[in-house]
A and B are shown apart, each in its own frame.
Chain A
Amino acid sequence: MADVNRGNRPLSPHLQVYRLPIPAVASIMTRITGHALVAGIVLLVWWLVAAVSSPQAFAAADWIVRSWLGFIILTGSAWALWFHTLSGIRHLFYDAGMGLEIENAKRNSWIIIIGSVALTLLSLIIFFIG
Chain B
Amino acid sequence: MRYITPRKAASGLGSSRSGTGHHWHMTVSSYALVILTPLFLIAVGQAIGLPQEGVIAHFGRPVPGIITALFVIVGMIHFIKGTRIMLDDYVHGEANKLAVIAATIFGWAVIAAAIFALAKMAFTIIAI
A interface residues with partner B (beta carbon < 8 Å): 31, 34-35, 37-38, 41-42, 44-49, 51-52, 55, 58, 62, 65-66, 74, 78, 81-82, 85, 88-89, 91-92, 95, 123, 126-127, 130
Contact = CB atoms under 8 A, between A and B. Distances in A.
Nearest to A65: B48
A116 B84 CA distance: 25
B37 interface: yes
A79 to B, nearest CB: 11
Nearest to B37: A85
B45 A48 contact: no
Interface of B: 27, 30-31, 33-34, 37, 41, 44-46, 48-49, 52, 55-56, 59, 68, 72, 75-76, 79, 82-83, 86, 110, 113-114, 116-118, 120-121, 124
Contact of A44 (B44, B79, B83, B116): B44
B10 to A, nearest CB: 25
Contacts of A45: 72, 110, 113-114, 117
Contact of B86 (A31, A37, A89): A31
For the residues of B in contact with A, the DSSP-based class is: helix
B22 to A, nearest CB: 14
A7 B124 CA distance: 73
B79 A34 contact: yes
Contacts of B117: 45, 48-49, 51-52
A85 B38 CA distance: 10
Given A35-B86, A44-B44, A81-B41, A51 B34 contact: no
Given A85-B34, A95-B27, A41 B44 contact: no
Contacts of A91: 30
